[in-house]
Structure 1
């Protein structure tokens, strides 16, 4: 057994209603997946039609919190440009309470300029510096003892005499995920704030380098390596036969060979083998990017023929 958790990761901006996401989340829960995560975007990418239009990540997760029982819920990644940090801390704490303590916050700088333009969201130049302050504020609000106040006088945000309420259910707070491909700034942020570091859509060689940078930053910060969860996000395209793999690849407008190189694609045996190689790097969670949300048989196949061999 490899000891890998499998999580479902969706991209609703490509075209999905709340009801579709609820169906996928309930299927993931019933099939034994560890978590249901979603992106936080407001505009389609590529040639997807995006219909019926975007759903908000935290409104979606609030709904799912009341309609699921076990599965964990979170974002890869909430954009720091979308929300003020104090508001975000309240939103996540509330959804954590609504779910009985099953929420995780992935927080990133934000990068997709077109969606900001499309919906009138400011797109500042100093995104990474704002992300650092947001992480400091969100975790600071959660970690402030009840009855105490929180203050922050930063470059971009100022909080004065905040009661730092409500508190999340999870203690000390919901897990915080940081991710990316950067050599210095992202690893330093992960070492300072993150419970989990996620490298999205990296090859084995890239993931090995990126995990190494984070471990180096943790050593510099005096933090134990085993205090960090390392994870990968990879597109999934699994089939019992080459024909089934090809059909699923065509449905998401990708090529099987490309997906075998850059994702988790092929037969269950091929996918189990590749997951094992990520595990050798220290990864303990895989976020399976599922792009065809109508294909619940895909989730069932992975749950029945991959999950038992890697869990």
Structure 2
């Protein structure tokens, strides 16, 4: 097929291509979630378009959020300080490229330093804090001897380095937190136990942050960082087999489904089928019944699809009086 004709068609129908891609992403979210729960609601055209548009926007934002947060420590370090630092001759070659191992030292060691400080503070063992401050002063003294900067220049640059390293440690909180939670969750994957997988993922994400730092100034940052962020996102989600969490989170945000710890009040007509299916044990004749601590898997379309004690059942929306989220007795 002639590539020029394809480009001509795409440029001439850019709005159509955009909306097709946009709604296709929403359709992927829709299909992934409902195939996961084994149910497909009946939606009218207007409701379907609205859902697909909302799902597409939200899923895109969630993916971008993860992409950015997983590589932001490295991007922040290189873009806010390292590229114009007066210390950069310590890790940068004359042609603008960087020494990988030196970058590792300048980026990773300060990060581990501040993580150590936070760990000591949280563990309430201040006796170890002086050791960190002694290390900080000693490192500054050695750096001052080798930097060949004047006193004022050195203090300014060392201060920038100090606050940049704190910023990197702060920005590294999310990737460290999410990987730690998944690592110690005890979840078994097809790739092995969570501790083994988490260890590999942590190394991979750290390496990707180092690649972000290694970017040359001549490279397009948007493309370069987007590729690295998408790679980090794919490694994290594929390793822990949690791609289903994106559509679930979309459903949770807008209360379309995946609503846990919910309570629903049903009309009397629905109480007998609920009892016969084992969802409730008893009910008063001709009176509404309340079912608590259930999961509303879906409330789109004409039915509520609910789960209670591993029993899943679809109930007409017309038989639902009201529903709420939260602890029943709170």
TM-score band w.r.t. shorter chain: under 0.3
TM-score (norm 2): 0.23
- The structure that has the greater radius of gyration is 2
Identify, as 1 or 2, the structure richer in helix: 2
Which has the larger share of strand? 1
What is the TM-score when the length of structure 1 is the normalising length? 0.24
